[in-house]
Structure 1
Amino acid sequence: MSRNLTVSAERIAADIDALAVITDPDRPWTRRAFSPLFLEGRAYLENAFRTAGLETRIDAAGNLIGGRKGKKPGAGTIMLGSHSDTVPDGGRFDGIAGVVVALEVARALAEAGIELDHDLEVTDFLAEEVSIFGVSCIGSRGMAGVRPAEWLGREANGMTLAEGIEKVGGNPGAEQKARDDIRAFLELHIEQGPVLEGEKLDIGVVTAIAGITRIEIIVEGRADHAGTTPMDRRADALGAAAHVVLAVETLAGELAATPGHFAATTGEFEMWPNAANVVPSKVRMLLDIRSEKRDDLGQFLTNLESCLEGIAGDNGVTIAPPRLVSDNPAMPMDPLVMDALDDACAATDAAHRRMASGAGHDAAFMARIAKAGMVFIPCLSGRSHAPEEWAENADIALGAEVLLEAVKRLDKQLMEQ
């Protein structure tokens, strides 16, 4: 479908292509936070920000920010952005599209002679992906004032996180305060899933970023000789664990069929003694649970514990109560922003639906300090975090047009509040 867009699809493509070149040539597309390639990508973005007429700075948390003043001092800031770092071997569009689109919105506003009442900022957040220090969303956590102080001492590749933040131009020693001037935050991202492509939709308006809960389950049986121990006299930890995995899949599938996003995955799995001729004596599993609604998480855990009791009894093993490893609740997006995005989709003839995000994003932390919203665009076969990750430039440009329309609407609506 041909559309007359205010944004430049050509500029968007050129920026994404330029950043794609800045990669480990043996592992496309790899540009990890704190690496020389990351700094090279940052230098490209900083120059692009300045060329677009934005004043650039690196904040204390290590985020690259380009801004321009609004007509009404003190009205606050509308911020757009995402991240330019990647996971290893994947990330030609993940994060990058959101930063480039934010920049293009700023360029389109300037070219149209539109001066917002609010200040406008475009942000490349530091280390949204899990970094070499084993933690993620470092920049957005810092901007929201919730980056744990003890993280600064984490070490990797011969440096601490504090030294890494200094390396990118930040100031880890500065007092960490949440920004209180940001009135609204918008982020564009590839969906990283197959829903929009499957339903032939242009845009997903994100309702919430699902909570991420991880629990550990340990199954203990008894090691015996694999050849001489009768099948009905075994306490096979792996056999019981297989029932646990299937129970997780069944219980998660039942909740996934109800309204609201829910998914559970047995992502880590270890067994002992791991020998061909020994009945397994112990299994450790780590479950990753993504829930939009807290009640769904509670129901899943209650049902799972009941299943574990039955599996333990049926298989002659011991299964300890699940141990909570980490628990981050879901973060809803702001109703005003979601409505503005819906209206922007209607104004640009973008076929859309509301949907939750099963993955984490910087917007989850920005939602703690501002009215936040996200838009998803389709990606090929739902693939992401892989070399095959792909999004059509026409889809990215339409997403940029939606964000542009939403910014103009929010600029007026926020002044009326």
Structure 2
Amino acid sequence: MVSAIVGIIRVRIKFKGQAAHAGTTPMHMRSDALLAAAQTACDIRHVAAQMSSQKPEHYVVATCGQFNVKPNASNVVPGFAEISVEMRSDHRPSMEALHRQLGHIAAQAAAMNQVTLLSCETVTDTQPVVCAPQLMAHIRDASDSLGLPYKVMPSGAGHDAAFLSHISPAAMIFVPSKEGKSHCAQEWTSAKELAQGVSVLIDAIERFDGVHQ
């Protein structure tokens, strides 16, 4: 059972260094844009992990899933690097704190690696959404009546329900994926668990409609 749907802040960061020959440029003379980008990715991950451990009641993650490097050659020190950093949480203050930290981290990484921070542009910013307590209660009662165990957890993925919540109460039911895997070829849920999820949904809808009164 989903308690909340995370908000998402996505930031595009660009670093400019100096392309140079990988063999003839001494280490101390390099202006490596990729190093600054990589350091930013590592540092924001560390901060997100630290925030998550310090506030376990909130879901906080940060991901660097895209790198664009130029000239992208094995024998050239990268003169340009662009990365996409995505931060998600069910707690808006945590999102904003992580966002602020990212700006400081990128600036520090640029200075340490003798490159220029060209831009740190926010391209997506959506609010977290708390699921409707009344609908969650119906889902909980439906699970109990069917004898099915459940776990209350935030959704780390974005969903249409987050946008529907602006015009109507919204809630969600998750069914288990094998080993928790998602967005990959190994994602799989058994037919039995799918059927159980549908049963909970039907029962919860009937409760909402007053059939079980």
**Aligned-pair distance for 1:321?**
4.7
Q: Where does 1:391-402 land on structure 2 (aligned, <5 Å)?
A: 391-402=189-200
How far apart are the structure 1 equivalents of 2:184 and 2:6? 22
Report whether the alignment pairs 1:271 with 2:69. Answer: yes
Instruction: Letter of the 2:139 partner, please give it.
Output: L
Report whether the alignment pairs 1:250 with 2:52. Answer: no
Report whether the alignment pairs 1:283 with 2:73. Answer: no
SS in 2 for 1:376: coil
Report whether the alignment pairs 1:213 with 2:6. Answer: no
SS in 2 for 1:296: helix
Contact 1:305 1:321 in 2 (8 A): no
How far apart are the structure 1 equivalents of 2:127 and 2:116? 30
Contact 2:87 2:98 in 1 (8 A): no
Contact 1:222 1:279 in 2 (8 A): yes
Q: 1:360 aligns with which of 151, 158, 164?
A: 158
Could you state the TM-score of these two structures normalised by the residue count of structure 2?
Answer: 0.90
State the match for 2:98 in structure 1: 300
How far apart are the structure 1 equivalents of 2:43 and 2:125? 21
Q: Where does 1:3-402 land on structure 2 (aligned, <5 Å)?
A: 205-257=1-53, 258=55, 259-402=57-200
Structure 1 unaligned spans of 5+: 1-204
Tell me: CA distance 1:314–1:386, structure 2 relative to 1, closer, same or farther (3 Å): closer
Instruction: Letter of the 1:310 partner, please give it.
Output: Q
**Aligned-pair distance for 1:295?**
0.7
Structure 2 unaligned spans of 5+: none
SS in 2 for 1:359: coil
State the match for 1:190 in structure 2: none
How far apart are the structure 2 equivalents of 1:384 and 1:315? 36
State the match for 1:125 in structure 2: none
**Aligned-pair distance for 1:241?**
1.6
SS in 2 for 1:312: helix
Instruction: Letter of the 2:186 partner, please give it.
Output: E
Contact 1:219 1:317 in 2 (8 A): yes
Could you state the TM-score of these two structures normalised by the residue count of structure 1?
Answer: 0.48
SS in 2 for 1:322: strand
Instruction: Letter of the 2:115 partner, please give it.
Output: V
How far apart are the structure 2 equivalents of 1:231 and 1:328? 41
SS in 2 for 1:213: strand
**Aligned-pair distance for 1:402?**
1.7
Q: Which runs of 4+ in 1 moved over 3 A?
A: 384-388
**Aligned-pair distance for 1:406?**
1.4
Larger radius of gyration: 1
Contact 2:36 2:106 in 1 (8 A): no
How far apart are the structure 2 equivalents of 1:384 and 1:303? 28
How far apart are the structure 2 equivalents of 1:217 and 1:308? 8
Contact 2:15 2:119 in 1 (8 A): no
Contact 2:6 2:155 in 1 (8 A): yes
How far apart are the structure 2 equivalents of 1:389 and 1:226? 41
**Aligned-pair distance for 1:304?**
1.9
SS in 2 for 1:374: coil
Tell me: CA distance 1:385–1:246, structure 2 relative to 1, closer, same or farther (3 Å): closer
Count of residues in Structure 1 that have an aligned counterpart in Structure 2? 210
Tell me: CA distance 1:277–1:385, structure 2 relative to 1, closer, same or farther (3 Å): closer
Instruction: Letter of the 2:201 partner, please give it.
Output: L
What percentage of residue pairs aligned between the two structures are identical?
A: 36
